[in-house]
Amino acid sequence: MNPVNASHTARERARAELTREIKEEARRQLAVAGADGLSLRAVARSLGMVSSALYRYYPSRDDLLTALIIDAHNSLGDALEAASAGSAASVASASASRRWAAVCHAVRAWALANPHEYALIYGSPVPGYRAPEATIGPASRMPFAFAGILRDAVALGELAAVPGDASLPVDGPLAKQAAALTAALAAADAPDAPEVPPGALIRAVIAWTQLFGMISFELFGQFVGTFDPTDDLFANAITQMTTFVGLR
């Protein structure tokens, strides 16, 4: 190997390792001080670095927060995509309802295993921080995992009509919002992907928000003294919400 290339590769490895250590220390600080208490100086001090050296990796606290947010979204995306694929692989021709439930349970499992990362991306906004465009792609992996199941359900005839749909027409501003979301999903997928009916799409968003509401209640101690442990309540709610969406 060319000595120059070898030296370059060694520097890249060293930089990658130090970047990993910086983010690991930042995650430890999240557990203690929360996202709004994250400090580059404190991270540098814990790692035995001078602040000026750390700034070469992350020029500001917001840059480090962005890196942690992207990592969290990608970690969650990996878990959900694996759950969806694993459910389909473990059962021949796995139904859309089975895949939907598997992904919901994977979200909860990831959140319980990574509570501080969950709080970072789904908890209270960090004062003064505005997420840059670089976070959009990683953050989209989770909703696209659910949307992919819905589209497959439409294609396979596994999206049932839900009683009451006829009495709840989708019109006005809600219809425009549903149409915009449908267009965004279509733009991100193959042109011939089946379109999810507006009513089903809205029900899916309702179920999606309930999913995160239940997880947040569990993580932040709102079920203590009532439905604690929450396993059975969560499983029951996912079964009901899967039916509510219209999956079978």
Mean pLDDT of the 94-123 span: 95
Predicted local distance difference test score (pLDDT) of residue 45: 94
161: pLDDT confidence band, cut at 50, 70 and 90?
Answer: confident
Predicted local distance difference test score (pLDDT) of residue 112: 97
Domain identity same for 170 and 114: yes
Checking if the pLDDT of 6 tops 70, the result is: no
Domain identity same for 206 and 114: yes
* pLDDT tens digits along 18-46: 999 999 999 999 999 999 999 999 999 99
Domain range spanning residue 33? 1-59
> Which amino acid is it at 191?
P
Q: What is the CATH number of the domain that holds 90?
A: 1.10.357.10
Total domains present in the chain: 2
Domain end (from 19, 34, 59)? 59
Mean pLDDT of the 51-75 span: 95
Rounded to whole angstroms, the Cα distance separating 164 from 169 reads: 9
88: pLDDT confidence band, cut at 50, 70 and 90?
Answer: low
> Which amino acid is it at 147?
A
Rounded to whole angstroms, the Cα distance separating 35 from 227 reads: 29
Predicted local distance difference test score (pLDDT) of residue 64: 96
> Which amino acid is it at 98?
R
Tokens of 25: 């220390």
Domain end (from 23, 38, 59)? 59
Domain identity same for 161 and 176: yes
Is pTM, for the whole model, over 0.95?
no
Checking if the pLDDT of 146 tops 60, the result is: yes
Domain identity same for 196 and 95: yes
Predicted local distance difference test score (pLDDT) of residue 4: 46
Domain identity same for 55 and 145: no
User: If we measure between CA atoms, which residue out of 145, 49, 158 comes closest to residue 96?
Assistant: 158
Which residue blocks in the chain are alpha helix, DSSP H? Answer: 3-33, 40-46, 51-55, 61-90, 96-113, 115-122, 136-156, 172-187, 198-219, 231-245
